[in-house]
Structure 1
């Protein structure tokens, strides 16, 4: 169980509904302004979504992905995606269940496995692109 008293990085003090509106209006701009003001790690409180610690430094992001699934509950943070990815998606799982499902999925995503599919993926992309209109926006 996580320590809910853990100190979070600084972030905007605007109400959660205001932060949600700012994110909806100009997500990249809002995040960029927060990064300039608070640094590469800051806390957003967004209505409907909840409290989110935002990381922009690649080293910090790597640390989270390499961290203990008992500490970093990505599934809990991704719960808003349930309607899109299904409630049993590995994106929504935490702790040992997440680790077990992720381990099962690793083999098809090894470099060799992906390399063996590259030709088929390229052919599908070419086939799709050939149907795109030329000289017309779409």
Structure 2
């Protein structure tokens, strides 16, 4: 794997996680949601990241890693687009939490396959170094 793609892949892996854990809290705070609801619901949207060790063996055999990375990347972009429209609705909170949860799930699946792709593309010498 070309070293130039490593940064891009790991940036693609980190960006949705930053949106889920940081930006969502700031977004809800700016929309005058109380702290208890923010803390509870934003902790729920990170559940897919805790399930990654259980999801990884199930997901590794279905499609190619590159195919899944592309599908999940487009899914993340589509979910962010939907989120932008949902925030204008009067009862946006619960639907936006649902979108954030789906975003977390797509991001966790993407993380699994990015790490898998990186490991499979490493040379034998680099694998031994790790």
TM-score if structure 1 supplies the norm length?
A: 0.22
Larger Rg: 1
Considering fraction of residues, name the structure with more helix: 2
TM-score (norm 2): 0.23
Structure with bigger strand share is 1
